[in-house]
């Protein structure tokens, strides 16, 4: 009974957290890109545009639910469902932290501790291509069809280097269980350099990480690989014919996939929730310092604000940050809060790279993208895998 | 088409006809293209224009000569001053009217700022088409400064109508040279910023090198002018070949490339921006003093002050406003180098106070005709790159 | 008039010598050379001029001198890039006369001739694709004619007229 109850609570918490993140990830992206592009970004709805995502979702919810007359209705409606469901499914196996004790109950910060979690995530993520292809095909329109074709080819092509890049750290970890993979990355070289897979001897997975990051841009259809929805060629690609919540579903799925794949990169290469430097050197206090610093910064700008409304809003933001800093300052909460903090910080960093790249790079051409996958990325991934296997075989892995 | 019937059924069936535009994000307005695709390859392309036809040429025939200036702004709305200049020069040639040096130099300076304005919009949208979103906004940041300068001069940001027959609409505003100087001092470093983002960016190079190449002879044959010809190796610039408005007194170079691809056009236009900055700097430093309009009563509106004190001035003002002025019969074909290429106004006068015919030889119309030659055989993604590199304005095409 | 133009223009002199009937008149006004060409000879004249260096067709347009007769002037602006010389050719046409297309001489002529057909209703014989270019396909008028009112006719579209 307890088991089901705890799982239900965890699922609800995860869902709530995830939906909020998805909502606000878009706001953060808009703000980040805006600042890259010397703009302000959303600023009208709520202080600093903080209610913009709410307004957007409300708008999309209340829009007329339009189904064009020429579509295959069943598949047309199935596609967005599929996209969201598959995008959210992966979170079932992703661990956010180690085993913790909360109110006397020991539990893992994870919904299901699957022994084949890595395979599960890969399988689910390769299913997402169905949503895209179905959307493009069921729309019965030319731009979506072209978009879906591109998408299918692209996602299948990049699946290979992605899977190969994943395989190499698995050789080091010798398990498919995500929690165990993270635990095997525990420890520090010279008491400082973390034993994350990306640094781990005998075969540091730096190349693998680079291949993984490039492939993850392609897998999530993001700039510079956003060809399936290249708006300047194919209008909106596979979701051209979708509107209201169905459009929002694709949008949500894209962001959910971004988070999943960033989480995978964190777990496989960057040591998951393990701190970048040992607790003996004060890594447990890093969140406090960070949030405290952010709070001080917000307070400083609030007191010296150029705009009148910042004088009111920024101190509130500062207070929020200080509260977080205080929360993290209680040593009792450290085992509970610090691991998820590091995990989310790493995921956030990767997400920020997504946004930064979007603000910087132009887009590949379709054939160049395919050539890049098969001609460059794939051989590199294969060589890396073979070298890793050799090194592990000779020097012994975990 | 008859040649399609002879194709094997299998090949013909694989073809897809795609209607691109008139509402499409990268056709820069309302261009419509009917593309025949084999996979992602464009087999045949047919541009359809006219969605923005406004009948400006017809309307010009109904207006007094001095009223037509405001219509010319609306032809190429990214380079209104080039159009103003071309029309004014044509009518002045018909009238045999000489404008004072200040007006000539001011015209050069502002037309070059217009070129920068237009090229900035081009660079921004071109980069946006290829996916580099930020460049677009950076370009618009600089364009904003140019528009502010235009507003300072004419009171308008875009539809300036600042050049009038016989000179300028208004005296140059006080402090204009500070604004222009501030702009040209920062602008070259901003150009370097764009180059840092694009010029050696491998993705940008892959998307633009070797794309949409048409041999120079074909380009000339198809009526292409401007930066596209220069990118294919022909150093022909009307500012040098047939200098107007004192352009022969300025020191600048005609940038050329020989590759003739999208990248070469990008390089040529960027270099043109640097050269334009040079011209603006020279104009700023050597700006002559004097009146801003020619001494031509009956053609140029008299000063406000004079109208309050002199009967004659008041009568001239009344006559110009109510019945215009008569232009001796004849015809003139005046060409200028607009940001897009050869812009020419063919003005025919029958001796009356309204032009008998104003024909606008707009560069975009001529250039767009080369579109099928550029994109047939390429990929859809190249269509977008080629369209961007052509830098057409649909108002300029459809008139 | 023609003789003064000839003296200034070696190519024109050559043209007049080769094809005496083609040039009807000419003038040199405000530094611009204009030749009046017999409409029947326009293609040959253009062919000759292109070979003599006028590789670029700058534009083709028309002027309606209604109510004078002959009503239309088709105006060709040629450009010799090598010598940087411009030349204007004119053909005078009556209302229902057509003229030979020069789109086989310069490919650029294609759209310009379509435009003249669209706006003036002058037909070009031998044009590969003489369709309207700016106005809708079902438009019946030619708006740049002087007898077309500037505000348009109330029922301009054939479809509306039928309905």
What structural domains does chain B harbor? 56-398 (1.10.645.10)
Q: Is the pLDDT of residue A396 over 80?
A: no
Is there contact between B and C if contact means ≥3 C-beta pairs under 8 Å? yes
Judge whether B18 is closer than 8 Å to chain A, CB to CB. Answer: yes
pLDDT digits (tens, 9 = 90+) for A290-334: 889 999 998 888 888 777 777 888 888 889 989 988 888 888 888
Report the domain count for chain A: 2
What was the pLDDT predicted at C17?
76
Q: Which of A272-276, A342-346, B187-191, C42-46 has the lowest mean pLDDT?
A: A272-276
Give the pLDDT confidence score for residue B280 in this predicted structure. 92
**Interval B120-137 mean pLDDT:** 86
Looking at the domain assignment, is residue A146 inside a domain? yes
Angle between helices A244-269 and A2-36 (to 10 degrees): 100
Q: Do chains A and B touch (3 or more CB pairs under 8 A)?
A: yes
Report the percent of chain C where pLDDT is more than 90: 7
Same domain, A32 and A159: no
Tell me, yes or no, if C24 comes closer than 8 A to chain B by beta carbon. Answer: no
Residues A86 and A54 in one domain: no
Secondary structure in 3-state letters for chain A: CHHHHHHHHHHHHHHHHHHHHHHHHHHHHHHHHHHHCCCCCCCCCCHHHCCHHHHHHHHHHHCCCCCCCCCCHHHHHHHHHHHHHHHHHHHHCCCCCCEEEECCEEEECCCCCCCCHHHHHHHHHHHHHHHHHHHHHHCCCHHHHHHHHHHHHHHHHHHHHHHHHHHHHHHHHCCCCHHHHHHCCCCEECCCEECCCCCCCCCCCHHHHHHHHHHHHHHCCCCCCCHHHCHHHHCCHHHCCCCHHHHHHHHHHHHHHHHHHHHHHHHHHCCCCCCCCCHHHCHHHHHHHHHHHHHHHHHHHHHCCCCHHHHHHHHHHHHHHHHHHHHHHCHHHHHHHHHHHHHHHHHHHHHHHHHHHHHHCCCCCHHHHHHHHHHHHHHHHHHHHHHHHHHHHHHCCC
A57 and A157 in a single domain? The answer is no
pLDDT at residue B335 is higher than 50:
yes
Residues of chain C found within 8 Å of residue B333, distances taken between Cβ atoms: 32, 58, 77, 86, 88
**Cβ-based neighbour number of residue C86 at 10 Å:** 18
CA distance A32 to A323: 24
Q: Which position has the higher pLDDT, A227 or C89?
A: C89
For residue C136, the chain B residues in CB contact (below 8 A) are 50
Task: Tell me the average pLDDT across B213-241.
Answer: 88
Contact check, Cβ <8 Å, B331/C34: yes
Answer whether residue B5 shows pLDDT above 80. Answer: no
User: What pLDDT does C3 receive?
Assistant: 66
With an 8 Å Cβ cutoff, is A227 touching chain B?
yes
| Cross-chain Cβ contact B359/C59 below 8 Å | yes
Which of the four pLDDT bands, split at 50, 70 and 90, describes residue C155? low
In a domain, A301, yes or no: no
Model pLDDT for residues C97-146, shown as the tens digit of each residue: 889 889 888 888 889 999 999 888 898 888 888 888 888 888 888 888 88
Confidence at residue B279, expressed as pLDDT on a 0 to 100 scale: 92
At residue B111, the pLDDT reads 92
Give the nearest partner residue to C75 out of B49, B55, B346, using CB atoms: B346
Tell me, what's the pLDDT at A229? 61
A47, A93: one domain: no
pLDDT above 70 covers a percentage of chain A that reads 97
Where residue B11 falls among pLDDT bands split at 50, 70, 90?
low
Residue A313 domain-assigned (yes or no): no
User: What does the DSSP assignment read for B27-51?
Assistant: STTT-EEEEEEETTEEEEEEEE--T
Instruction: Give residue B119's pLDDT.
Output: 92
| Cβ atoms of residues A238 and A139 within 8 Å | yes
pLDDT computed for residue A232 by the predictor: 59
- The structure tokens 């923005």 sit at B52
Contact call for B57 and C144, based on CB within 8 A: yes
> A141 to chain B: nearest residue by CA?
B18
* Residue contact B361–C77, C-beta within 8 A: yes
Residues A53, A173, single domain; the answer is no
Report the pLDDT averaged over residues B191-207. 85
Alpha-carbon gap: A373 to the closest alpha carbon of chain B (Å): 14
Asked if C160 reaches chain B (Cβ–Cβ under 8 Å), the answer is no
Of A233, A362, A364, the CB nearest to B380: A233
Q: From the list B40, B132, B201, which residue is nearest A366 (CB)? A: B40
Give percent of chain A above pLDDT 90: 2
Q: Does B11 touch chain A (CB under 8 A)?
A: no
pLDDT at residue A61, rounded to an integer: 84
Does B346 contact C59 at a Cβ distance shorter than 8 Å? yes
Option in B49, B94, B221 nearest C107 (CB): B221
Mutate which of B333, B334, B364 to test chain C, going by most C C-beta atoms within 10 A? B333
Distance from CA of C104 to the nearest CA of B (A): 11
In this prediction, residues A13-36 reach a mean pLDDT of 86
**pLDDT for the residue numbered B112:** 92
Checking if the pLDDT of C1 tops 60, the result is no
The stretch A152-163 carries a mean pLDDT of 85
Longest C-alpha distance within chain C, in Å?
A: 61
Contact call for residues A171 and A397 (beta carbons, < 8 A): yes
Of A97-106, B13-22, B380-389, which has the strongest mean pLDDT? Answer: B380-389
To the nearest whole Å, the CA of B225 is away from the closest chain C CA by 9
**Which partners does chain C have (≥3 C-beta pairs < 8 Å)?**
B
> What subunits make at least 3 CB pairs under 8 angstroms with A?
B
Range of the domain at A29: 1-61
Question: Which domains are assigned to chain C?
Answer: 2-134 (3.30.460.80)
Query: Do both A261 and A339 map to the same domain?
Result: yes
pLDDT interval class at B9 (50, 70, 90): low
- Is residue B223 within 8 Å of C54, Cβ to Cβ? no
In a domain, A317, yes or no: no
In a domain, A123, yes or no: yes
Please check whether residue B201 touches A, CB under 8 A. Answer: yes
Of A33, A61, A89, the position where a domain reaches its end is A61
With CA atoms as reference, the chain B residue closest to C108 would be B222
Q: Count Cβ atoms below 10 Å from residue A384 Cβ, excluding itself.
A: 23
B49:C88 CB<8 A:
no
Determine which of C58, C74, C75 to mutate to test the interface with B (most B C-beta atoms within 10 Å): C58
Average pLDDT over residues A276-291: 82
Q: Is B212 on the interface with A (CB under 8 A)?
A: no
Q: Is A304 on the interface with B (CB under 8 A)?
A: no
Is C163 a residue whose pLDDT tops 50? no
Q: Which residue of C63, C133, C148 is in closest CB contact with B49?
A: C133
Considering the domain boundaries, does residue A367 fall inside one? Answer: yes
Same domain, A104 and A239: yes
Closest to A353 in 3D by CA, of A155, A252, A220:
A220
Q: Is residue A26 located within the same domain as residue A54? A: yes
For C72-107, how does the pLDDT look when each residue is reduced to its tens digit (9 = 90+)?
A: 999 999 988 888 888 889 998 888 888 988 988 888
- Residue B22 reports pLDDT greater than 50: yes
pLDDT tens for each residue of B213-223: 888 888 888 88
Of A45, A61, A77, which residue is a domain's last?
A61
pLDDT given for residue C7 in this prediction: 66
Q: Cβ contact (<8 Å) for A235 and B25?
A: yes
The band of B89, judged by pLDDT with boundaries at 50, 70 and 90, is: very high
What confidence tier does B115 reach under pLDDT thresholds 50, 70, 90? very high
Region A48-72: mean pLDDT is 84
pLDDT tens digits, C7-19: 677 777 777 777 7
Sort out which chain C residues have CB atoms less than 8 A from B244's CB and list them.
none
pLDDT at A228 over 80: no
Residue B147: pLDDT band with limits 50, 70, 90: very high
Chain B residues in contact with A362 (beta carbon < 8 A): 127, 130-132, 198, 201, 203-204, 207
Which of B50, B55, B344 comes nearest C143 by C-beta? B55
| Residues of chain B contacting residue C61, judged by C-beta atoms under 8 Å apart | 346, 359, 361
Would you call C63 and B222 a contact, using CB atoms and an 8 Å cutoff?
Answer: no
Write down the pLDDT at residue B272: 92
> Which value, to the nearest 10 degrees, does the dihedral of the CA atoms of residues A378, A380, A384, A390 take?
90
Q: Which of A125-129, A220-224, A248-252, B151-155 has the highest mean pLDDT?
A: B151-155
Contact between chains at B348 and C63 (C-beta distance less than 8 A): yes
Task: Please state whether the peptide bond connecting residue B196 to the residue before it is cis, i.e. omega within 30 degrees of 0.
Answer: no
User: What percent of chain B shows pLDDT beyond 70?
Assistant: 96
| Mean pLDDT in residue range A127-133 | 85
Q: Which residue has the higher pLDDT, A368 or B347?
A: B347
- Mean per-residue pLDDT over chain A, rounded: 83
ipTM of the complex in this document: 0.86
Which domain-ending residue is among A44, A61, A78?
A: A61
Residues A374 and A260 both lie in one domain: yes
pLDDT at B1 over 50: no
Count of residues in chain C: 163
Asked whether residue A99 falls in the same domain as residue A46, the answer is no
Which residues, other chains included, contact A66 with Cβ-Cβ below 8 Å and sequence gap of 6+? A243, A244
DSSP assigned state of B290? S
- Give tens-digit pLDDT for A183-203: 888 888 877 788 887 777 777
Would the CB atoms of B53 and C144 count as touching at under 8 Å? no
The pLDDT assigned to B7 comes to 47
- The reply to whether residue A233 touches residue B26, judged by beta carbons under 8 angstroms, is yes
Q: Which two tokens stand for residue C2?
A: 């023609």
Same domain, yes or no: A100 and A51:
no
Nearest to A361 among B137, B203, B384 (CB): B203
Asked whether residue A47 falls in the same domain as residue A71, the answer is: no
Q: Please indicate whether, in this complex, the C-beta atoms of B383 and A39 are within 8 angstroms of each other.
A: no
More confidently predicted of B26 and C88: C88
Is the pTM higher than 0.90? The answer reads no
| Mean pLDDT of the residues in chain B | 86
pLDDT band at residue C158 under the 50/70/90 scheme: low
8 Å CB contact of A365 and B382: yes
């Amino acid at each position: 009974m307890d088991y089901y109850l705890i799982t239900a609570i965890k699922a609800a918490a995860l869902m709530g957290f995830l939906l909020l993140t998805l909502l606000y990830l878009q706001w953060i992206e808009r703000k980040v890109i805006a600042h890259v592009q010397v703009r302000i970004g959303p600023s009208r709805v709520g202080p600093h545009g903080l209610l913009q995502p709410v307004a957007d979702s409300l708008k999309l919810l209340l829009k007329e639910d339009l189904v064009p007359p020429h579509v295959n209705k069943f598949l047309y409606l199935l596609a967005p469902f599929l996209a969201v469901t598959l995008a959210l499914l992966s979170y079932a196996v992703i661990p956010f932290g180690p085993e913790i004790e909360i109110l006397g109950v020991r539990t893992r910060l994870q919904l299901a501790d699957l022994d084949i979690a890595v395979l599960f995530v890969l399988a689910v993520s390769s299913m997402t291509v169905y949503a895209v292809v179905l959307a493009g095909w069921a729309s019965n329109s030319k731009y979506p069809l072209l978009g879906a074709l591109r998408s299918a080819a692209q996602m299948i092509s990049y699946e290979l280097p992605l899977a190969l890049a994943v395989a190499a750290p698995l050789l080091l970890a010798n398990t498919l269980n995500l929690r165990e993979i993270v635990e095997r990355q525990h420890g520090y070289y010279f008491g400082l350099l973390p034993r994350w897979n990306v640094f781990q001897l005998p075969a540091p997975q730096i190349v693998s990480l680079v291949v993984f990051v490039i492939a993850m841009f392609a897998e999530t259809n993001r700039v510079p690989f956003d060809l399936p929805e290249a708006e300047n060629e194919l209008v909106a690609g596979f979701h051209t014919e979708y509107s209201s919540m169905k459009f929002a579903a694709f949008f949500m799925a894209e962001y959910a996939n971004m988070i999943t794949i960033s989480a995978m990169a964190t777990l496989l290469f960057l040591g998951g929730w393990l701190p970048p430097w040992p607790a003996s050197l004060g890594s447990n206090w890093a969140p406090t310092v960070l949030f405290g610093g952010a709070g001080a910064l917000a307070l400083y700008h609030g007191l010296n604000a150029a705009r009148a409304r910042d004088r009111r809003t920024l101190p509130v933001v500062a207070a929020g940050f200080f509260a977080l800093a205080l929360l993290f300052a209680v040593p009792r909460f450290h085992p509970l809060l610090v691991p998820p903090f590091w995990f989310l910080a790493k995921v956030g960093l990767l997400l920020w790279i997504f946004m930064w790249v979007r603000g910087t790079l132009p887009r590949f051409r379709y054939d160049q993208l395919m050539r890049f996958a098969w001609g460059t990325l794939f051989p590199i991934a294969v060589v890396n895998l073979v070298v890793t296997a050799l090194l592990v075989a000779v020097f012994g892995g975990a | 088409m008859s040649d399609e019937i002879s194709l094997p059924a299998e090949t013909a069936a694989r073809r897809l006809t795609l209607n691109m535009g008139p509402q499409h994000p990268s056709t820069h307005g309302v261009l419509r293209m009917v593309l025949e695709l084999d996979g992602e390859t464009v087999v045949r392309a047919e541009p359809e224009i006219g969605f923005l036809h406004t009948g400006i040429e017809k309307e010009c025939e109904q207006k007094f000569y001095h009223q037509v200036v405001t219509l010319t702004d609306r032809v190429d709305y990214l380079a209104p001053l080039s159009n103003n200049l071309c029309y004014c020069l044509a009518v002045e040639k018909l009238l045999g009217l000489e404008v004072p040096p200040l007006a000539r130099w001011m015209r050069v300076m502002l037309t070059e700022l217009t070129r920068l304005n237009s090229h900035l919009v081009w660079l921004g949208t071109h980069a946006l088409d290829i996916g580099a979103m930020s460049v677009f906004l950076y370009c618009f940041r600089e364009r904003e400064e140019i528009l502010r300068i235009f507003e300072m001069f004419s009171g308008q940001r875009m539809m300036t109508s600042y050049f009038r027959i016989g000179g300028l609409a208004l005296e140059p505003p006080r402090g204009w040279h500070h604004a222009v100087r501030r702009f040209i001092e920062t602008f070259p470093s901003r150009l370097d910023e764009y180059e840092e983002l694009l010029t050696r960016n491998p993705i940008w190079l892959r998307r633009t090198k070797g794309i949409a190449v048409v041999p120079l002879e074909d380009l000339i044959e198809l009526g292409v002018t401007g930066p596209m010809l220069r990118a294919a190796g022909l150093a022909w610039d009307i500012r040098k070949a047939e200098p107007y408005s004192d352009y022969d007194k300025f020191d600048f170079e005609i940038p050329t490339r020989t590759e003739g691809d999208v990248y070469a056009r990008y390089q040529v236009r960027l270099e043109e921006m640097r050269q334009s900055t040079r011209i603006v700097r020279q104009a700023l430093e050597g700006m002559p003093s004097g009146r801003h309009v020619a001494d031509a009563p009956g053609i140029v509106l008299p000063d406000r002050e004079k109208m309050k004190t002199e009967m004659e001035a008041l009568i001239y003002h009344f006559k110009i406003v109510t019945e215009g002025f008569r232009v001796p019969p004849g015809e003139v074909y005046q060409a200028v180098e607009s940001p897009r290429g050869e812009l020419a106004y063919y003005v025919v006068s029958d001796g009356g106070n309204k032009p008998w015919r104003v024909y606008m030889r707009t560069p975009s119309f001529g250039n767009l005709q080369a579109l099928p030659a550029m994109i047939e055989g390429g990929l859809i993604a190249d269509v977008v790159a080629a369209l961007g590199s052509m830098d057409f304005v649909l108002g300029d095409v459809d008139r | 008039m023609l003789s003064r133009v000839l003296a200034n223009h070696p190519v024109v002199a050559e043209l007049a010598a080769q094809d005496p009937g083609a040039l009807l008149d000419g003038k040199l006004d405000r530094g611009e050379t204009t030749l009046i060409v017999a409409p029947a000879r326009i293609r040959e004249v253009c062919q000759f001029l292109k070979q003599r260096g006028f590789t670029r067709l700058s534009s083709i347009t028309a002027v309606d001198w209604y109510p004078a007769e002959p009503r239309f002037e088709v105006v060709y602006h040629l450009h010799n890039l090598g010598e940087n010389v411009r030349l204007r050719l004119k053909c005078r046409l009556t209302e229902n006369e057509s003229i030979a297309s020069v789109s086989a001489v310069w490919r650029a002529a294609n759209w310009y001739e379509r435009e003249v057909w669209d706006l003036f209703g002058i037909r070009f014989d031998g044009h590969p694709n003489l369709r309207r270019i700016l106005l809708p396909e079902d438009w019946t008028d030619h708006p740049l004619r002087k007898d077309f009112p500037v505000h348009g006719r109330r029922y301009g579209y054939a479809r509306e007229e039928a309905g």
